[in-house]
Chain A
């Protein structure tokens, strides 16, 4: 059985553009000119999962989540 695979999702309504996530996880996140995150890439590589989780946990608006990729 393969390990679970994840990707990052931003809830654009909840996100307030504060940018904590991009500070914590620049590997896959950068900010657009208004401070809202842009996600680079789809699946979070295994080696970066821990960092991605830390970014989601620290999002003050709970706008950033890791969701499982089916199959």
Chain B
């Protein structure tokens, strides 16, 4: 069944799974937050003439089931998408997926916790109040884990809408938790103080993580995906492009240029005046393309970029390398063309490319990249400093 679906999914519906995964992930965190809030309302025992206590419990239970449903969709579409190799085992067993292992692992951990809470709740009358309650406390843990999972493995993290949703959910859950701690009858005051301090520490850590991790460019390279897989994904993007322009199979024929980019042309017509004088820092956008491997496995990856405030001057990086049998790529050299500047790539580290260029004044360019694996779109920043500076 899956095999029959796979080619169609890849050709037509591949994107649909991808959109579903992201959307259901965001909906899940909203539902999880709402579920926790209503759980708190129910356990605090707040009630009014218009809102009897059993309503909190009913809504809490129904929301939690809805949440689990969405998490199910999230998980199944992630696996079915097949763009990155995530298997059904990765869903249950944390930290073993090759793609962003830590953050996907947190997702798996969260899923396990949710399942535990679900099962113990269904068997509540059999396992007794004490054990049910203990497992139910874990549901609180689920929330920060889910949040970090979303921040770290979600590709939509920097979108204002997603940040907005996460901020609102966080504020709501924190307010609810504070209320719970203030009214908690069953915990001693020291325990509640410890929980409050712990919450503040955890939330500060998560906020710091978000600001310095996924919200900075180049996260896809820093999030623990193995270099081989990243290159494989990049090759996939390049491969699909190449097959649309050359009707041969990916392994055949060494095409040296892709129609999308003509590295040499930009240099001749480039308006040198638009190239900023070092030192400067500027955002860049662009696209990545790749030639199919030739007979000896040689490939060429072209990053065609433009500075946002100097749109007329292309910044082109051509990386050459060889493709191993395993699908990984080892890059051996690279050239940079930027207006009148010419030079070599001297360092390649995750999403950071360092290049020495000259016009003929020596200048160091540091390009921080984030390559969208779906569209091959590049976003990032480029920093130029005079001289062959270190760093």
Q: Which residues of A line the B interface, CB within 8 A?
A: 14, 18-20, 23-24, 58, 60-62, 65
- Give every chain A residue within 8 A of B128 (Cβ-Cβ): 62
Pick the interface stretch among B53-61, B63-71, B282-290, B333-341: B53-61
Q: Are B124 and A18 in contact (CB under 8 A)?
A: no
| CB closest residue in chain A, given B129 | A62
Interface residues of B in 337-351 (CB under 8 A from A): none
Could you list 12 A-B pairs, sorted by A, with CB under 8 Å? A14-B129, A18-B45, A19-B53, A20-B54, A20-B57, A23-B53, A58-B57, A60-B42, A60-B43, A60-B57, A61-B129, A62-B128
| CB closest residue in chain B, given A65 | B125
**In the complex the two chains form, what is the Cα distance from A35 to B128 in whole Å?**
23
- Give every chain B residue within 8 A of A62 (Cβ-Cβ): 124-125, 128-129, 132
Q: Are A20 and B124 in contact (CB under 8 A)?
A: no
**In the complex the two chains form, what is the Cα distance from A18 to B46 in whole Å?**
10
B327 adjacent to chain A (CB < 8 Å): no
Q: Which 8 A-B pairs have the closest CB atoms?
A: A62-B129, A23-B52, A20-B53, A24-B54, A58-B54, A20-B54, A58-B57, A23-B54
**In the complex the two chains form, what is the Cα distance from A18 to B58 in whole Å?**
16
Q: A16 to chain B: closest CB distance in Å?
A: 8
Q: A53 to chain B: closest CB distance in Å?
A: 11
**In the complex the two chains form, what is the Cα distance from A19 to B53 in whole Å?**
8
| B-side interface residues, number (CB < 8 Å) | 13
Q: B3 to chain A: closest CB distance in Å?
A: 43
**In the complex the two chains form, what is the Cα distance from A62 to B125 in whole Å?**
7
**In the complex the two chains form, what is the Cα distance from A35 to B53 in whole Å?**
13
Q: B258 to chain A: closest CB distance in Å?
A: 63
Query: Chain B 178-200 against A: per-residue CB contact (8 Å), 1 yes, 0 no?
Result: 00000000000000000000000
| CB closest residue in chain A, given B127 | A62
- Give every chain B residue within 8 A of A14 (Cβ-Cβ): 129
**In the complex the two chains form, what is the Cα distance from A58 to B42 in whole Å?**
11
Complex partner residue of A18 from B53, B125, B129, B132, CB under 8 angstroms: B53
| CB closest residue in chain B, given A54 | B54
- Give every chain A residue within 8 A of B58 (Cβ-Cβ): 58
- Give every chain A residue within 8 A of B53 (Cβ-Cβ): 18-20, 23
**In the complex the two chains form, what is the Cα distance from A60 to B121 in whole Å?**
11
Interface residues of B in 27-51 (CB under 8 A from A): 42-43, 45
Q: A31 to chain B: closest CB distance in Å?
A: 12
| CB closest residue in chain A, given B186 | A16
**In the complex the two chains form, what is the Cα distance from A65 to B52 in whole Å?**
21
- Give every chain B residue within 8 A of A20 (Cβ-Cβ): 53-54, 57
| CB closest residue in chain B, given A63 | B129
- Give every chain B residue within 8 A of A23 (Cβ-Cβ): 52-54
- Give every chain A residue within 8 A of B42 (Cβ-Cβ): 60
**In the complex the two chains form, what is the Cα distance from A61 to B133 in whole Å?**
9
Q: B87 to chain A: closest CB distance in Å?
A: 37
Q: A51 to chain B: closest CB distance in Å?
A: 11
**In the complex the two chains form, what is the Cα distance from A18 to B183 in whole Å?**
14
- Give every chain B residue within 8 A of A58 (Cβ-Cβ): 54, 57-58
| CB closest residue in chain A, given B43 | A60
- Give every chain B residue within 8 A of A60 (Cβ-Cβ): 42-43, 57
Query: Chain B 112-129 against A: per-residue CB contact (8 Å), 1 yes, 0 no?
Result: 000000000000110011
